[in-house]
């Protein structure tokens, strides 16, 4: 990253505004246009300059390109400087509020989807995964000790299987009341499962509450996928286990029609980076082929234990 290019890129106030917004949110061009209230050609020109300077990164998801701050040390230092420059200006606050509304629109779209498909969810999932028993793969990663949580538990299928193996409390969390209702019906005869309504970006759990966390085919539904990973780190005890599964990045838009989602899967290296940057230690990554030419990656990671003071 060349500092001269960075400073030139930040010589325009609109680009300062964009950097502040994209530090907190990953947005596509259409969303950014609505946030800064500019024509698309102007926004695209500013984004190109910021990307070329190394201050922004981009990634494609289907027909859209999403932008976010690069997140390296130089970028973070410049963002801190920009924050101080714009902190007293109302426009920065308005931009962040509008960006938050873009994320809320995505979240509401996901909630409407699950409200509609909840009774058929297990069948839809089977259509995509086929005969691949992902639940058994995940269970093979667990020690069945301590308190385990299934984050984005859906209809409770995995919790039901775990309930026969885990003597301690199981906690299932989902943001969809309709999916949780299906889970309650399924788990009506189970004594060691607790279901909680809540967003994965803001887990209804205490710090260091659980020994193991599972996030099974959920991340592609999350508008800001890094946030749930940070939340898992918060609620896990030191040394705790995190098992995360999701689609490898693909271009099959029809899968969205079947299983919904904000993202068409993720590159393996992207999720690795998110885990490492959060503080997890990656133990292993396994890949499996399923229907429709798709692949599912399963990441096993641990929250590093605190070093003892000498």
pLDDT tens digits, 202-238: 999 999 999 999 999 999 999 999 999 999 999 999 9
Q: Could you give the CA distance from residue 45 to residue 47 in angstroms, rounded to a whole number?
A: 5
Which pLDDT value is given to residue 1?
A: 59
Domains and CATH numbers, the chain: 3-88 (1.10.10.10), 119-303 (3.40.50.150)
Pairwise CA distance, residues 242 & 141, whole Å: 9
Q: Which residue has the tokens 């940070």?
A: 230
The string of DSSP letters for 250-269 reads: ---THHHHHH--SSS-B-HH
pLDDT digits (tens, 9 = 90+) for 104-142: 999 999 999 999 999 999 999 999 999 999 999 999 999
Q: How far apart are CA 87 and CA 52, in angstroms?
A: 26
| CB 34, CB 86: distance < 8 Å | no
d(CA 262, CA 184): 26
The pLDDT value recorded for residue 166 is: 85
What phi and psi, each to the nearest 5 degrees, are found at residue 171? -120, 120
Residues of the chain falling short of pLDDT 70: 1, 87-88, 306-310
Structure tokens at 299: 């990441």
């Amino acid at each position: 990253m060349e500092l001269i290019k960075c400073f030139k890129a930040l010589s325009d106030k609109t680009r300062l505004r964009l950097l502040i917004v994209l530090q907190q949110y990953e947005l596509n061009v259409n969303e950014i246009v609505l946030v800064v209230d500019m024509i698309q050609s102007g926004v695209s020109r500013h984004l190109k300059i910021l990307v070329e300077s190394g201050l922004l990164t981009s990634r494609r998801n289907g027909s859209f390109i999403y932008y976010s701050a690069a997140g390296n040390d130089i970028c973070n230092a410049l963002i801190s400087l920009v924050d101080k420059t714009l902190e007293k200006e109302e426009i920065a606050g308005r931009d962040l509020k509008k960006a938050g509304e873009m994320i809320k629109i995505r979240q509401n779209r996901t909630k409407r989807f699950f409200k509609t498909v909840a009774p058929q969810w297990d069948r839809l999932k089977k259509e995509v995964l086929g005969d691949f028993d992902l639940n058994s793969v995940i269970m093979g990663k667990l020690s069945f000790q301590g308190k385990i949580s299934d984050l984005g538990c859906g209809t409770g299928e995995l919790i039901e299987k775990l309930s026969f193996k885990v003597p301690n409390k199981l906690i299932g969390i989902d943001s969809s009341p309709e999916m949780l209702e299906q889970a309650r019906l399924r788990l009506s005869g189970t004594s060691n499962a607790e279901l909680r309504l809540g967003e994965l970006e803001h887990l209804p759990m205490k710090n260091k509450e659980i020994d193991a966390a599972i996030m099974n085919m959920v991340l592609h539904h999350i508008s800001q996928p890094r946030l749930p990973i940070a939340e898992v780190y918060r609620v896990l005890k030191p040394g705790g286990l995190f098992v995360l599964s999701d689609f490898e990045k693909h271009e099959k838009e029809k899968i969205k029609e079947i299983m919904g989602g904000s993202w068409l899967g993720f590159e393996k290296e992207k999720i690795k980076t998110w885990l490492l940057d959060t503080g997890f230690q990656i133990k292993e990554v396994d890949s499996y082929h399923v229907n429709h030419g798709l692949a599912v990656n399963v990441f096993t990671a641990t929250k590093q234990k605190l070093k003892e003071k000498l």
